[in-house]
Amino acid sequence: MINVLFVCLGNICRSPMAEAVFRDLMEKENLREKISVDSAATSSWHIGSPPHRGTLKILKEYNISSEGLVGRQLTKVDFNEFDYIVGMDESNIQNIYEITGQPNHPKILRLLDLTEHKKDVPDPYYTGNFQETYQLVSEGCRALLEKILGENKIKKTGT
């Protein structure tokens, strides 16, 4: 089983959105038996909280399940549990390095570095633009899935 962890600052906007979008992609490709996904925060502000109402609204708009999404904080143990740890912005990446004690490890990557954008996913908690975040997260998740499939020689089966 390949384990993927999405990480943002509070685990209520970007990383739970990415978790839900990625989970939806895996469902459509019949990959739930091969890849697991979770999300976490670098801060402790929203432990146990549901996603932000803007995240829930955009997921509902695109008919993507938000079931089981609950805020939690990244721990040092997560480094050993996950094969891919994906931050939403450069600040997240630096915090992931600090929390895990694994600076510049190749399993830690910034989501949009896998796309042509090569930038941070803006935090809609501050920008209010959940649509832009959704579009970037969706593109990044598709690119991440392709990377994982290629690196692990997993074939898509589709439904």
> Which residues are marked as active site?
8, 14, 123
CA dihedral 66, 70, 74, 80 (to 10 degrees): -70
CA 37 – CA 55 distance, rounded (Å):
17
Look at phi and psi of residue 41 and say left if phi exceeds 0, alpha if psi is from -120 to 50, else beta: beta
Report strand pairing: 35-41 vs 2-8. parallel
